[in-house]
Structure 1
Amino acid sequence: MSGMVSRTAIVLLMGLFGVLFWATQLPSPHGTALPDDPPITSPRIRLSDGRLLAYKEQGVPKNKSNYKIIIIHGFGSSKDMNFLVPQEFIDELGIYFLLYDRAGYGESDPNPTRSVKSEALDIQELADQLQIGSKFYVIGVSMGSYSTWSCLKYIPDRLAGVAFVVPVVNYWWPSIPQNLIRKDYRKRLVSCALLLANYAPGLLYWWATRKWLPSTSVMKRNPVFFNSRDVDVLKTTKGFPMLTPDKLRQKGVFDTLRDDFAVAYSNWEFDPTELSNPFPWNQSHVHIWQGYEDKVVPFQLQRYVSSKLPWIKYHEVPDGGHLIVHYNGLCEAILRALLLGEEPLKYRPVIPKFVD
């Protein structure tokens, strides 16, 4: 009897080791080829390390523009994201937009050594190769905000102005008070996802591609992620096409999302709350736009970060969720504040009140 128990224990132990080994392995590609992938159609530049970076230009021609703006997309998005501004406003001000696929997204090559710093260097090289000038504006949306913080740290002399839209806040920045995040369920979710991304990507891949997980259509109705205005927005936008199980089964998509998430919540080389004002003579400004009802990034964290950096103009949208960049009129308000210094009554900056 004892021999049978021992053999059973050995079999179970071997099975456990097998599962753990499998969990630590990267997922194999979804088939040997991806014939359904569309051909590359966007213009691309070759970076100094050999990678190709895809981009898209919008607005007025850059040689006739008064303002040049680089827009940085968020998690699961691409250079094809919507940034809705009336054409007459664009023409009146002479605005040139440059959108690009961050490393691994869309039609850009992945970066195996992706870091917070590499994001800013990609932007600088893109601007130089396209000759948009010595200074340009940057607008970072959601996860694209860590690239924006990187610009403030590593290439501040290239910036003409900066706007963050619902930027993610890294729970491991040293300055974040523990009493502010100790009970935040989002930190626990991020911690769990990071653990899987770094040490068990195979298990994370299995979990992320299950058909019983919320699809894009289910997310549209899920109050855990979005408020009522966000839900209305998702009825008329593309949502998050990269986050569906079908897309996640593609190794390249999965790897890009995993690496992007891991870098955003990694231990950074700097704490953003200790950065210096890049515009000490008020020649321009940095803005943060946050939804009060954002269920992805809590407004309390955003208020704290802004309170530590008094040179940032903090705007809070009272009925705004995480998708405020898609709300009618908000992108124009962002540009009026960033480019013209105008503060519409509805979106005037406020002094963030932080309570421990």
Structure 2
Amino acid sequence: MPGDKRVSAASARDHTRRVKLKSSSQRPSGLFWSISVIFLVGIMALGYQAIQPPPPKICGSPGGPPITAPRIKLRDGRHLAYKEHGVPKEKANYKIVFIHGFDCNRHTAVVPSMEIMEDLGIYVLSFDRPGYSESDPDPKRTPQSLALDIEELADQLELGSKFYVVGYSMGGQAVWGCLKYIPHRLAGAALLAPVVNYWWPGLPADLTTEAYYQQFPRDQWALRVAHYLPWLTYWWNTQKWFPGSSAAGRNPKVFSPKDLEILARMTKSRDPKMAAAVGSGRQQGEHESAVRDLMVGFGSWEFGPVQLQIPFPNNEGTVHLWQGDDDGLVPVTLQRYIALQLPWINYHEIPGAGHVFASDQAMADTIFKVILTGEK
């Protein structure tokens, strides 16, 4: 039997050697998967870091832009910067809050000529919307929160129990929020080329689809991202691999020939100091200004304009909407539909006009006379 023991011992050693060889042959595979997982996690971390916007440079903070404008402090501690135009509010017959458009600020207010303002007694209060120029960002901004900001701004500056709101472009879109949430504070309202959200409740799918695909492909994709993947909006509009939003990228191709004429006149007449002030809209960072506008403007709203009730049931005020029929940013077909569904809207369509028609001084004078007196 000793021979059998030797065979058994040899077999045991051989089995141990095979197990060790098998184990050692498996180690590279296990190491490979471990390295792969670490690599994947690293790529995901780098990707997450790449899509995260940098923190805003708050005005007045260390390293941030200086505070040059008068500001109010809101209920939640944020500040809104503002600018006053026209006659002193104590002597004014009409007090108006102007809401600026996309990539603009308080300096780009559409106001009538000084002659008209003095003749009618008009006071206009423009302000930087949250995140723009010198107003603090509001990461929780919604159509309702902006309307409440406007109400508080008017109260702190003592505009009285009722005031007018006039909004241009993305600011015009914000007027819908005022009509929804603070109609009791309004003496009247005007929307100038207000931006349309293709996902608003109440808009017919066939009409929105047709209008949506009339945009440049780059804008179709930019708005899809803003609506369905808002957390990716900043990266989408700042990366260099493919084009982002035309508006965010300041692409002149979206403007009509009439628009380009008006913009050229404005650029030529504007002094360098004012040009610098107008261009300061994104100074706190793109994410809380232009990008936040895209996320809110084309996000999921809890209401659509066609669902609004009449804000002035006793005819104590009027609502006007102006739209150019050659607007490359806002589809006139959807604007027409909204106006048809709201019989209390006074709709004014301007033949041949583009998106910036209200910046023409003669047009601005007409708009304000119609809003305030009904005269053209």
| TM-score bracket, shorter-length normalisation | 0.7 to 0.9
Q: What code does the residue aligned with 2:311 have?
A: P
Question: Size of the alignment, in residue pairs?
Answer: 332
How do 1:1-356 residues align onto structure 2 when only pairs under 5 Å count? 10=36, 17=44, 20-27=47-54, 38-183=65-210, 184-185=212-213, 186=215, 188-194=220-226, 198-201=230-233, 203-204=235-236, 206-207=238-239, 219-220=251-252, 222=253, 225-237=254-266, 252-342=285-375, 344=376
Contact 1:79 1:100 in 2 (8 A): yes
Distance 2:291 2:326 in 1: 26
User: 1:259-316: per-residue Cα shift (whole Å, max 9, x none)?
Assistant: 2221111211222211111122323210000000001001001000001101100001
Distance 1:337 1:251 in 2: 36
Computed over aligned residues only, the root mean square deviation of the Cα atoms, in angstroms, reads: 3.5
Contact 1:205 1:254 in 2 (8 A): no
Contact 1:241 1:247 in 2 (8 A): no
Question: Which structure's CA Rg is the greater one?
Answer: 2
Distance 1:171 1:216 in 2: 18
Distance 1:131 1:58 in 2: 15
Contact 2:100 2:129 in 1 (8 A): yes
Quick one: percent identity of the two aligned structures? 42
Distance 2:161 2:241 in 1: 44
User: How has the CA–CA distance of structure 1 residues 84 and 162 changed in structure 2, closer, same or farther, with 3 Å as cutoff?
Assistant: closer
Gaps of 5+ in 1: 345-356
- The 3-state SS of whatever aligns with 1:68 is strand
- The 3-state SS of whatever aligns with 2:239 is helix
Partner of 1:349: none
Distance 2:49 2:110 in 1: 41
Q: What code does the residue aligned with 1:262 have?
A: M
User: How has the CA–CA distance of structure 1 residues 113 and 130 changed in structure 2, closer, same or farther, with 3 Å as cutoff?
Assistant: same
Distance 2:281 2:93 in 1: 39
Contact 1:77 1:242 in 2 (8 A): no
Contact 1:76 1:241 in 2 (8 A): no
Distance 1:62 1:216 in 2: 35
Tell me whether 206-215 or 162-171 shows the greater mean CA deviation: 206-215
User: How has the CA–CA distance of structure 1 residues 116 and 292 changed in structure 2, closer, same or farther, with 3 Å as cutoff?
Assistant: same
User: How has the CA–CA distance of structure 1 residues 147 and 28 changed in structure 2, closer, same or farther, with 3 Å as cutoff?
Assistant: closer
Q: What code does the residue aligned with 1:109 have?
A: D
Distance 1:152 1:146 in 2: 10
TM-score, L = length of structure 2: 0.78
Query: Structure 1 residue 118: deviation in Å?
Result: 0.5
Query: Structure 1 residue 88: deviation in Å?
Result: 1.3
TM-score, L = length of structure 1: 0.82
Contact 2:193 2:321 in 1 (8 A): yes
User: How has the CA–CA distance of structure 1 residues 170 and 64 changed in structure 2, closer, same or farther, with 3 Å as cutoff?
Assistant: same
User: How has the CA–CA distance of structure 1 residues 247 and 14 changed in structure 2, closer, same or farther, with 3 Å as cutoff?
Assistant: farther
User: How has the CA–CA distance of structure 1 residues 209 and 36 changed in structure 2, closer, same or farther, with 3 Å as cutoff?
Assistant: farther
- The 3-state SS of whatever aligns with 1:290 is strand
User: 1:191-218: per-residue Cα shift (whole Å, max 9, x none)?
Assistant: 3341686232563253279999989998
User: How has the CA–CA distance of structure 1 residues 16 and 276 changed in structure 2, closer, same or farther, with 3 Å as cutoff?
Assistant: same
Query: Structure 1 residue 15: deviation in Å?
Result: 7.3
- The 3-state SS of whatever aligns with 1:282 is coil
